[in-house]
């Protein structure tokens, strides 16, 4: 394959990842002041934008749905690393940090990203279309994972409180990982066409023709820079986490707000990538990113945290409180009604965004 006609060796997207990694090395283990934290925040934002760019390059090279899968798995691995880092550091209420972060990720992806993308697509194209079979399968997997991992602990009686016993946690971890692997096989091997963009008539949408596919060399370079950017994002987010926790405590806000902020930071690259896809009329790609991220957030995070809990001190509380169970049920019902027709208008996008707003308000003021 020939080289790219216009290589961008000195573009900012290639400079930012190593610079952000260098910034991480310089501030790791230190306590930068207000100016330092401000600089870290700017570098963090630049790293997120660079990650989005390189993820889109990789996605364009490998095609859908592999591109969405690469970004979802990469971001989730970073999310797991960040959760484990904070839990090991022994901050406040670390027993619920995994629950708060995973649930926040589900609400942000299933309502925030989905709602924003449906609204954007409907504004630009009148009605936005997607494959109901593939999206419905993804949604069913997400709902099953969320209910099994985050709701059932409230109703078990073997151990007190919203916790699983050791054997129950082992079962949930294995079941979550099994469901995730089954979905990935379905998405990439058995029924790949269910997850490709479609026209209003249900036919597969042609690939984007505005740009040639990147070469193998450029795609591999972007894959490496994507991983560097994501490592920098999670590391710099960790640097910012202590000031965030202090700010949350000083404002008298619930500790669950920390989990929401972590999820927002981690999901920012996917949110931007999904929004860009919706603007191009590729709603199915947006939904692949959103639901795939929610699925990976549960299906990969919970098994990893379950194994790590063997060595971590303290309990692992996964059960949601009643308010969040209601919000999860509402999200499930609304999502089913959105997915079944295979098309959506501005109203569906607005409904999802209102559910997200309710979650954020009730997190700030339970």
Per this entry, what is the length of the chain? 366
What stretch of H or E contains 331?
A: helix 322-339
Preceding peptide of 211 cis, ω within 30°? no
More confidently predicted of 30 and 104: 104
Average pLDDT over residues 26-52: 81
Give the separation between CA 51 and CA 20, rounded to whole angstroms.
Answer: 11
The reply to whether 173 falls in a domain is yes
Can you say whether the dihedral through the CA atoms of 60, 65, 68, 73 is positive or negative? negative
User: What is the pTM assigned to this prediction?
Assistant: 0.81
The reply to whether 247 falls in a domain is no
Reported as a pLDDT band with limits 50, 70 and 90, residue 266 is confident
Q: DSSP letters of 52-108? A: HHHHHHHHHHH-TTHHHHHHHHHHHHHHHHHHHHHHHHT-TTGGGHHHHHHHHHHHI
Reported as a pLDDT band with limits 50, 70 and 90, residue 125 is confident
Reported as a pLDDT band with limits 50, 70 and 90, residue 90 is low
Average pLDDT, the chain: 83
Q: Determine the pLDDT at residue 120.
A: 93
Count: domains in the chain: 1
More confidently predicted of 13 and 213: 13
Please state, in angstroms and as integers, the Cα–Cα distance from residue 11 to each residue in 3, 15, 19, 219, 222, following that order.
17, 7, 13, 15, 12
Question: Model confidence over 100-124: pLDDT tens digits?
Answer: 888 999 999 999 999 999 999 999 8
The reply to whether 226 falls in a domain is no
Residue with tokens 């880092």: 85
Q: Is the pLDDT of residue 361 over 90?
A: yes
Contacts of 31 (CB under 8 A, 6+ apart): 242
Q: Determine the pLDDT at residue 222.
A: 86
Q: Determine the pLDDT at residue 81.
A: 72
The reply to whether 234 falls in a domain is no
CATH number of the domain enclosing 320: 1.20.1420.30
Q: DSSP letters of 120-189? A: HHHHHHSSEE--HHHHHHHHHHHHHHHIIIIIGGGT--SSSSS---HHHHHHHHHHHHHHHHHHHHIIII
The reply to whether 19 falls in a domain is no
- Tally helices (H) and strands (E) across the chain: 13, 2
Token couple for 266: 């981690």
The reply to whether 49 falls in a domain is no
Contacts of 219 (CB under 8 A, 6+ apart): 57, 58, 61, 62
Question: Model confidence over 295-321: pLDDT tens digits?
Answer: 888 888 888 888 888 777 777 888 899
Reported as a pLDDT band with limits 50, 70 and 90, residue 261 is confident
Q: Which domain holds residue 332?
A: 65-207+254-364
The reply to whether 239 falls in a domain is no
Average pLDDT over residues 331-340: 94
Strands 343-344 and 128-129: antiparallel
The reply to whether 259 falls in a domain is yes
Q: Determine the pLDDT at residue 111.
A: 95
Please state, in angstroms and as integers, the Cα–Cα distance from residue 241 to each residue in 89, 235, 237, 264, 316, following that order.
11, 10, 6, 12, 20
Q: Determine the pLDDT at residue 68.
A: 67
Least confident of 86-90, 281-285, 354-358: 86-90
More confidently predicted of 250 and 60: 250
Question: Model confidence over 183-241: pLDDT tens digits?
Answer: 888 888 777 778 777 766 555 665 554 456 778 788 888 888 888 887 887 788 777 77
Q: Determine the pLDDT at residue 64.
A: 60
More confidently predicted of 92 and 24: 24
Give the separation between CA 17 and CA 71, rounded to whole angstroms.
Answer: 16
Q: Determine the pLDDT at residue 2.
A: 39
Q: Determine the pLDDT at residue 10.
A: 64
**Euclidean distance between the first and the last CA atom of the chain, given in angstroms as a whole number:** 57
More confidently predicted of 220 and 357: 357
Q: Is the pLDDT of residue 3 over 50?
A: no
């Amino acid at each position: 394959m020939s080289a790219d006609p216009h290589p961008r060796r000195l573009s900012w997207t290639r400079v930012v990842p190593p610079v952000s990694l260098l910034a991480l090395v310089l501030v790791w283990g230190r306590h930068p002041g207000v100016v330092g934290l401000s600089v870290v925040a700017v570098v963090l934002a630049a790293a997120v934008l660079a990650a989005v760019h390189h993820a889109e390059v990789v996605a364009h090279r490998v095609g859908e749905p592999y591109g969405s899968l690469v970004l979802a798995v990469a971001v989730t691995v970073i999310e797991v690393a960040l959760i484990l880092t904070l839990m090991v550091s022994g901050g406040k209420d670390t027993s619920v940090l995994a629950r708060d972060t995973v649930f926040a990720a589900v609400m942000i992806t299933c309502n925030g990203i989905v709602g924003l993308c449906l609204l954007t697509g409907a504004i630009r194209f009148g009605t936005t279309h997607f494959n109901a079979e593939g999206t419905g399968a993804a949604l069913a997997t997400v709902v099953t994972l969320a209910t099994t991992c985050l709701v059932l602990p409230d109703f078990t009686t073997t151990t007190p409180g919203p916790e699983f016993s050791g054997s129950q946690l082992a079962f949930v971890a294995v079941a979550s990982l099994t469901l995730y692997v089954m979905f990935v096989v379905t998405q990439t091997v058995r029924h790949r066409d269910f997850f490709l963009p479609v026209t209003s008539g249900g036919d597969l949408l042609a690939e984007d023709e505005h740009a040639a596919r990147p070469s193998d060399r450029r795609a591999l370079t972007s894959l490496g820079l994507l991983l560097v950017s994501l490592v920098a994002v999670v590391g710099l987010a960790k640097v910012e986490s202590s000031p965030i926790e202090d700010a949350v405590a000083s404002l008298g806000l619930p500790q669950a707000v920390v989990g929401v902020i972590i999820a927002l930071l981690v999901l920012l690259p996917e949110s931007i990538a999904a929004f860009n896809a919706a603007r191009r009329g590729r709603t199915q790609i947006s939904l692949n990113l959103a639901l795939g991220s929610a699925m990976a957030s549960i299906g990969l995070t919970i098994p990893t945290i379950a194994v790590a809990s063997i060595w971590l001190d303290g309990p692992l509380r996964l059960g949601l409180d009643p308010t969040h169970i209601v919000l999860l049920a509402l999200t499930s019902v609304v999502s089913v009604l959105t997915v079944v027709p295979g098309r959506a208008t501005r109203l569906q996008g607005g409904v999802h965004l209102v559910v997200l707003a309710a979650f954020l308000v009730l997190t700030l003021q339970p």
